[in-house]
Structure 1
Amino acid sequence: VVVSLQNGVGNARLPRQHIKQCVIAGMVPFNVFYKGIGHFHCGTEGNIALEDPNNQCSDIIKALNNASLPVKVYNDMEAVQYGKLIMNLNNAVNALSGIPLKSQLGDRQYRLVMAKVLSEALAVLKAEGIAPARTGKVIPKLMPKIMKLPDFLFNVVASSTLKIDPEARSSMYEDLALGRRTEIDYLNGEIVRLGEKNHIATPVNKHIVNLIKQHEVAQKGSPHLPANALLLK
């Protein structure tokens, strides 16, 4: 059994086309940042999710539980993966900002960018007939409103729903820092694709996809862009 934990909603589909083993869809709902020399830092909370309707993962689940990595099992992961996709749309914003997640989400200008990103995403998912599941304490459809809150109100909400370690950064920030290709086509790019399919404009997500791809090619790490640079002029 192979468990695919890659971000994106089609993460198990691709390996199934190329290997003979049973491929199980999985998801890591918490933030992990690699600090070097075998040190992986967990910056937010949550349990590993696996799609296991036929109970093929009992040995893996036992091993993960023994390693203090508890698992939540689902019969169907699609809604859960789309819920995680909604959360992961911030990965690119964080990578382009170049600052820790807590600082970025603490800045209302970046949150206003995220409100637009999320509003576009929820519109195209609704058109597609997809209801993203709640993967943590935040209800997906409320996220644009939460992002627009003034700082003092956001801090009250975030203190109980978004526990983020001060050191946490997105994996896409790490990709840019290491000169790797990012997952942008499977995150914000998925929203752009569904928007085109359903004839819904997604200008902010499209702009962010283009920015990430520019800086992938540049291979100079995060460009440390201000929030207004993430919006189309």
Structure 2
Amino acid sequence: MQTPSPPGPRDGRRWKIAVMGAGAVGCYYGGMLARAGHEVVLIGRPEHVQAIEREGLRLETRAFDERVRLAASTEASAVQGAHLVLFCVKSTDTEAAGEQMKRSLAPDALLLSLQNGVDNADRLRAVVTQEVAAAVVYVATEMAGPGHVRHHGRGELVIEPSSTGAAVAQMLAGAGVPTEISDNVRGSLWAKLVLNCAYNALSAVSQLPYGRLVQGDGVEAVMHDVVAECLAVARADGVQVPGEVAVAVRRIAETMPAQYSSTAQDLARGKRTEIDHLNGLVVRRGEALGVPTPANRVLYTLVKLIEGKQASA
């Protein structure tokens, strides 16, 4: 006798969701979805998986601090049967993670790329046959310990249209994750890239949170130069960046004053960063398009020097 399959994503009930790359971002969104009653499996590092299996995921936010019970695995094959896969691995691991999980994906699964950078969805599409949609993530989180995610602020998503996009957005909103569907996700990804380029490397090099970082001598001028270069490259690349970027840059420090960039967190833990897909991407696109990017090049080079120093220590 066959076991009935779980409800599908179009019936308005319980979704089966896998989170590929259960770091701070993946754990936050996976935890919120599990808390809302969906069947979630987190796929991540052994120390986090073991802690979650023992005690559940500790989800610490400004509004609540709870232990959320959900499944966890170190194996990419745990994506099997999922209606939705939140793809949250580092940009440097996109192709490798796609290869690891592609044989276990359901044919009709939707893969939602919740990653930094502007080209991850395209790179993932080159590996898997399932539908892939890009998402822009605005959230401040950190892993405060094994199986413990701490949320500092925000949490909204902007996602690309897809065959199940409306249902996905409704489901996420029902779990406390504000979600907007946009026809200009490429522009929104570049808007997020500009913010990352302005803050990530400076926070990493200084090991300062955003609120203290922006008070440093000369920081405002450096950020202005970085942002101007990013926007010049985007224009040359035919990208329409939405919103008032200067206002958005200022708002980051105001809304996330205690947040360290993901690049800063990676360097503090001796891990490889995503700088190649942030300031490094702007430098490469600038070179290809004939747009000078000296401020981005300096920040990229400084982070790479620190990475190299740590790797050889």
TM-score by length of 2: 0.58
Report deviation, 1:21.
1.7
**Cα drift, residue 127 of structure 1:** 2.5
2:303 equivalent to 1:212: yes
Question: Retained in 2: the 8 A contact 1:33–1:170?
Answer: no
Matching of residue 13 in structure 1 with residue 122 in structure 2: yes
Structure 1 residue 15 displacement after superposition: 1.1
TM-score w.r.t. length of structure 1: 0.77
Query: Which residue of 1 is the match for residue 139 of structure 2?
Result: 30
AA of the residue aligned to 2:184: D
- Native 8 Å contact 1:101 1:166 kept in 2: yes
* SS of residue matched to 2:283: helix
Q: Is the 8 A contact 1:98 1:173 kept in 2?
A: yes
- Paired with 2:131 and 2:269, the residues of 1 have a C-alpha distance of 31
Deviation at 1:179, TM superposition (A): 2.2
Alignment partner, residue 203 of structure 2: 94
Between the aligned partners of 1:59 and 1:128, the Cα distance in structure 2 is 32
Change (3 A) 1:178 1:63: farther
CA deviations on 1:96-146 (whole Å, 9 max, x unpaired) are 110111100222422222112112222222223322112xxxx11x46xx9
Q: Per residue, is there more strand in 1 or in 2?
A: 2
**Equivalence map 1:194-233=2 (5 Å):** 194-219=285-310
Query: Is 1:101–1:164's contact at 8 Å kept on the other side of the alignment?
Result: no
Name the counterpart of 1:113.
222
**Cross-structure match for 1:70:** 178
For structure 1, which runs of at least 5 residues remain unmatched after alignment? 148-157, 221-233
User: How many residues matched?
Assistant: 201
**In the alignment, what sits opposite 1:230?**
none
Residue 212 of structure 2 aligns with an amino acid whose one-letter code is S
Tell me the residue number matched to 2:270. 179
Ranked by relative contact order (alpha carbons within 8 Å, sequence separation 6 or more), the top structure is 1
SS in 1 for 2:176: coil
- Counterpart of 1:193 in structure 2 is 284
Per-residue deviation, 1:7: 0.6
Q: Which amino acid aligns with 2:128?
A: I
**Out of 165, 169, 175, which is 1:61 matched to?**
169
| 3-state SS of 2:142 partner | strand
Considering only CA atoms, is the larger Rg found in Structure 1 or Structure 2?
A: 2
- State the alpha-carbon separation in 2 of the partners of residues 195 and 161 from structure 1: 25
Of all paired residues, the percent bearing the same amino acid is 32
CA distance in 2, matches of 1:165, 1:85: 17
Superposed CA RMSD in Å reads 2.3
The DSSP-based 3-state class of the residue aligned with 1:106 is coil
Q: Gaps spanning 5+ residues in structure 2: where?
A: 1-109
Change (3 A) 1:82 1:166: closer
